[in-house]
Structure 1
Amino acid sequence: MSLPAVSEQQLEAARARAAAARKERAEVKQALRTGRTTLAEVLDRRDDEVIAQLKVVDLLKCLPRVGNKRALAVMERVDIADNRRLRGLGRHQIARLKEEFSGV
């Protein structure tokens, strides 16, 4: 199977979309770090195509006092695989994450 031929304009447009998506994900994580938004608000926006691509572990590590070790421990307690993205979370997992971090 060969790759389809893509024009230079199509490549440039794809690069621009990818850069915009990376920037939006970075802004969401920064807003979580600074307290401008909550984990519950981000989880409620998981239907957004860009936010759905965020890894759960990366999102949790943006919370105050949550590093890699605590993020992985919480994910294990809530039965979330360590490579899961927001798109792949079930309603029970989302509810348990919100409950776990309701004070943050």
Structure 2
Amino acid sequence: MALPPLSPEQRRAALDKAAAARKERAAVKDALKQGKLPLQEVLASDSEAIRKMPILSLLASLPGIGKVRAQKTLTELEISESRRVRGLGSNQRERLLAHFVPQG
């Protein structure tokens, strides 16, 4: 199915929206990596840009966790690597938090 043709203004608006979403996701991943933002807050976010982020990408940005460890963890927790933040069920969300957030 072909996409409808966009006017130059519509195309520019779509490109700007996509760039803003990429910037927001990059800022969130950077804040996670530096320990400035807790995982619970990211998983509870209402931001559409964050909700569309792949969970593998999100976990790989945690301190001390790379892509390989994130893949292994998702496999252990029985969560698909292609799952996005908004697609996590409540049980999957709980398992992730139990695995990555220290209980104290």
- TM-score (normalizing by structure 2): 0.91
Looking at structure 2, the residues matched to 58 and 41 of structure 1 have their Cα atoms a distance apart, in angstroms, of: 16
CA deviations over 1:51-87 (Å, ceiling 9, x no partner)? 0111111111111111122111111121111111111
Q: Which residue of 1 aligns with 2:14?
A: 14
**Aligned match of 1:41:** 41
Residue of structure 1 equivalent to 2:32:
32
Ranked by relative contact order (alpha carbons within 8 Å, sequence separation 6 or more), the top structure is 1
Structure 1 residues 93 and 2: CA distance shift in structure 2, 3 A: closer
Report deviation, 1:6: 1.4
Q: Normalising to structure 1: TM-score of the pair?
A: 0.91
Cα deviation, residue 88, structure 1: 1.1
1:85 maps to what in 2? Answer: 84
Give the match's secondary structure for 2:37.
coil
Aligned-partner Cα distance in 1 for 2:2–2:71: 39
Hey, what's the Cα distance between the residues in 1 that align with 2:15 and 2:73?
A: 35
Question: 1:92, 1:63 → 2: CA distance?
Answer: 20
For structure 2, which runs of at least 5 residues remain unmatched after alignment? none
Shift of 1:3: 2.8
Q: What is the RMSD of the two structures over their aligned residues, measured on CA atoms? A: 1.5
State the aligned residue count.
Answer: 103
Question: Is there any run of 5+ residues in structure 1 with no aligned partner, and where?
Answer: none
Distance 1:68 1:5 in 2: 38
